[in-house]
Amino acid sequence: MSAPRFTGNVPSNVAQEAKYRVVHGSRGRMEIQLYYRLSAGERALVTTRKHPRLVDMVNQVKEEYAGAPGGAFYINEYRFVLVPATGDCFYAGQYDEILEFEFEGLVISPKAPQGLGPGDSWPGPRVGTAYTLTADGRDVRYTAEPRPNVEIQRRLSAEVGATSARRLAQRLSRYKRGGGRIYINEAREFFAPAQADNAWTCIYLGNLEDDDWFPSPKITGG
């Protein structure tokens, strides 16, 4: 059965640190790879072989649409595995395990480390789906392409009501003043780019927790 085209909020950040990849590892085995920033001038290439089912999910889409296994993929806040191929994005299924990596005694996880608070530096991974926090700090929005050459803008306030949307947006805007791009990952942690000491970094905005959010996109076709 063909993987359906994903028509929700498609992750589009092409930076190496902002996506997972399935790659050929040693002894012919495929593994999952992530670029992880250790400091402003240092990053590590980390891998894991502990998620063979996830590798298979990605490769099935890659082989169908790109003709070969391996390549980039994302996991969004609904735990949907999203695979870009042939200039489009496809739904490979849902994956509920947390994708973590081990490196030099560190556990690199999409879950916020214990003790990390909003406004602190986000250590990564920097893989997430982008949304826009409005400049007035009252709403969150994104743009989707439900069908080719048609765009639609969706606002959180239209989905959950102005009061609920404003409550979450104001919480996020305490640390992301003036609005702009924010990201949410598969553990429902928010982070955002920020500038400090003439360099770009990421700050942690907190977890979605019990706040209302966009409903899970419907998957059709396939």
Q: What is the tens place of the pLDDT at every residue in 102-156?
A: 998 889 999 999 999 999 999 889 999 999 999 999 999 999 988 878 889 999 9
Per-residue model confidence as pLDDT tens digits over 33-48: 999 887 667 788 899 9
Kindly report the pTM of this predicted structure: 0.93
- The whole-chain average pLDDT of the chain stands at 92
Confidence bin at 198 (pLDDT 50/70/90): low
Nearest CA among 149, 22, 153, 10 for reference residue 91 = 10
The per-residue pLDDT for 42 is 75
The per-residue pLDDT for 40 is 66
Higher model confidence: residue 74 or residue 104? Answer: 74
DSSP letter at 3? P
* Residues 214-218, mean pLDDT to the nearest whole number: 92
Contact 156, 139 (CB under 8 A): yes
* Cβ-based neighbour number of residue 29 at 10 Å: 10
Nearest CA among 126, 131, 123 for reference residue 169 = 131
At residue 196, does pLDDT exceed 70? no
Task: Give the H/E segment covering residue 31.
Answer: strand 30-39
Nearest CA among 139, 189, 132, 188 for reference residue 165 = 139
What ranges do the domains of the chain cover? 16-108
User: What percent of the chain is modeled with pLDDT above 90?
Assistant: 75
Residue/partner pairs of 197-201 with CB below 8 Å, 24 or more apart: 199/40, 201/40, 201/121, 201/122
